[in-house]
Structure 1
Amino acid sequence: MKTGDLRGYLSIATATLFWGFSATIAKFLFKHEVDLLTLVQMRSTLSFVVLFLILFALKREYVKISKSDIPRFALLGVIGIAGSNFTYYFTLNQINVATAIIMQYTAPVLVVLYAVLSGSERVTPVKIISTILSLVGCSLVVRIFDFQFLNLSKIGVISGVASALCWAFFNIYGKRISSRYNIWTNLTFGLMFAGLFWLFFNPPWKIFNSGYTLNDWLIFFAFAMISVLIPYFFYFNGLKHILSSSAIITSTLEPVIAIVSAWIIVGEKLSLIQIVGSVLVLKSVVLLQIKRETS
């Protein structure tokens, strides 16, 4: 393995480490009565502020967009970022970490299904097998075949499906915009519009009147950094050295880290059937990316 490849894989692995732990940290915060909406809002808003200031100081050309593209970035921010963030963390709040993150990990399969239905990619046996693996795996994770499913939060399952759909949209629509702008520009303005969107539901005066302490604000800031900016920095840096398909395969470490850390920190355990389901979903993602890379 070349030094550059090794650096790339290590960077992607580091990003997944932060993303995986951030899921467990969010679950821990919810258990300690941290408001979900405020956490999601601060995640986007604080990340945007810090990222914008850094780019404005170092790469000012990255914070310039055409006025005609504002609606596109607004759509990316509202559905792709605000939508996927809220539904994902809402799912985390309703059901266990493993189920939430595995449900969102069906998004790559949804992206491929969209490509097939839109005619940009053809149907292949690998895509059919990956879709089946993903659906069966997700069904096992939520234990749809057993009575335990009846005890699972139905709204949590619905929001889990929504999080996968929103994340698939982020990948599909973000790819359209990325041909015209730097990837940091996409993230910056996506976060900006996500933050602006949440202001309609949780305006500044309501936040400041909520009585949050300095310690609370430090928690919001730290969570934004470890769940957005730090992992994205490592992820984008890794993409400079390895193929995006290899990066996606490596990033399947994220749910593994999330599941193990949730077991250690918040005491969430999986049954054998759920572990098998998780492996099937991740297998479907890996299978798709290996096929794309060899193509």
Structure 2
Amino acid sequence: MSLELPAVRPQRISSRGRGTALILVSSVCFGSSGTIAKPAMLAGFSPEQVAAARIGLAAVVLVVAAALFRPRLLRVRRAEWPVVLGYGMLGVAGVQLCYFVAVGRLPVGIAILLEFTSPVLIALWTRFVRGVRLSRVMWLGIGLAMLGLALVAEVWEGLSLDAVGLLAGLGGALCSAAYFLLGEHGAATRDPLGLVLWGMVVGAVVVCAVSPPWRLSGLDAVTDFGPWHPPVWLLLVAVALLSTMFAYGLGTSALRYLPAAVASVLGLLEPVIATASAWALLGEALSWVQLAGAVVLLGGAALVQYVHSRQSGQAQPAVGQESPASAP
């Protein structure tokens, strides 16, 4: 699979604010998925069924919308298929399935922490594969973000390790890193919405093979969601549109303006949103340690963004000149 990127990507330099806003809103959308989907699981749906419903429905909506309003998004050049397939299988289906296996065998906090080690993997890729030297302050910001994540996840609660669960959690981290790296490459060579569309189609095929959607039943069952009592099907529609279609679309679009190493750290806002929304709508406890962890995590993410902004401002590449950050 070729990951050769175009030499010039000036959008990053001129639209850092736009990229940051996109990835932060995407993280909010992603972070809401657990809170929206959990009532459906409490009503008897398995995590795999919820994943199949959210990805499958998002794929159908995107294909229909593109066919009606932007047919060019449905076209994929032969050279683009490796990235599209990798994005769909790893960044869409792989992240979901690995996380669900990890949650089934490990405490939720450990599973979340393992998946969200992806910024470290991306930083290592950037340093040793792309050959881009990261400053000590950047590494400090990544370290603070990971420490804050560990506090938010309260990884010491019910600590127990299972070999299969551990491998699944690390697999989720690799798939999450692939989502950012392949998304960064795909967004540079084609419309990000086209990449998300076909990524959803590929992901839907993979996930639905594991959990066929025709086995779904009880969609009209009423469940509790904060002060409301919606049917399960409405929650599945919400998680498909808000937490899947919009989340992936905004997140992948952000990679036109931010490198994967920065976007992945800013994406750590997701577990903070997940914890806060579960506290607000589902009544799940939120400890002072988790609040402190959220502050540390956000501080680390802000530090990474600050360093990136300074480096970008000092080293803006001229048009036609290759930037080290755009290397594969």
TM normalised by structure 2 equals 0.70
Please give the alpha-carbon distance, in whole angstroms, between the structure 1 residues aligned to 2:266 and 2:148.
19
| 2:33 alignment partner in structure 1 | 22
Structure 1's unaligned 5+ residue stretches are none
Please give the alpha-carbon distance, in whole angstroms, between the structure 2 residues aligned to 1:35 and 1:289.
37
| 1:81 alignment partner in structure 2 | 92
| Structure-2 change in CA distance of 1:177 and 1:254 (3 Å) | closer
What is the aligned counterpart of 1:173 among 170, 182, 202? 182
| 2:226 alignment partner in structure 1 | none
Identity %: 25
| 2:68 alignment partner in structure 1 | 57
Q: Verify the 8 A CA contact 2:51 2:96 in the aligned structure 1.
A: yes
| 1:258 alignment partner in structure 2 | 274
Deviation (angstroms), 1:76: 1.5
Q: CA RMSD in A?
A: 3.7
| 1:221 alignment partner in structure 2 | 237
| 2:314 alignment partner in structure 1 | none
| 2:326 alignment partner in structure 1 | none
Q: Verify the 8 A CA contact 2:73 2:191 in the aligned structure 1.
A: yes
| 2:217 alignment partner in structure 1 | 211
What is the aligned counterpart of 1:280 among 277, 280, 296? 296
Please give the alpha-carbon distance, in whole angstroms, between the structure 2 residues aligned to 1:275 and 1:103.
20
| Structure-2 change in CA distance of 1:100 and 1:150 (3 Å) | closer
| 2:192 alignment partner in structure 1 | 183
Please give the alpha-carbon distance, in whole angstroms, between the structure 1 residues aligned to 2:243 and 2:189.
26
What code does the residue aligned with 1:291 have? V
| Structure-2 change in CA distance of 1:113 and 1:9 (3 Å) | closer
Please give the alpha-carbon distance, in whole angstroms, between the structure 1 residues aligned to 2:178 and 2:241.
24
Report which stretch shifted further, 111-120 or 278-287: 278-287
Deviation (angstroms), 1:152: 8.3
How many residue pairs get matched? 285
What is the aligned counterpart of 2:131 among 86, 107, 120? 120
Structure with more helix by fraction: 1
Deviation (angstroms), 1:221: 2.5
SS in structure 2 of the partner of residue 34 of structure 1: coil
What is the aligned counterpart of 1:67 among 78, 83, 104? 78
| 1:267 alignment partner in structure 2 | 283
What is the aligned counterpart of 1:193 among 175, 188, 202? 202
Please give the alpha-carbon distance, in whole angstroms, between the structure 2 residues aligned to 1:27 and 1:158.
24
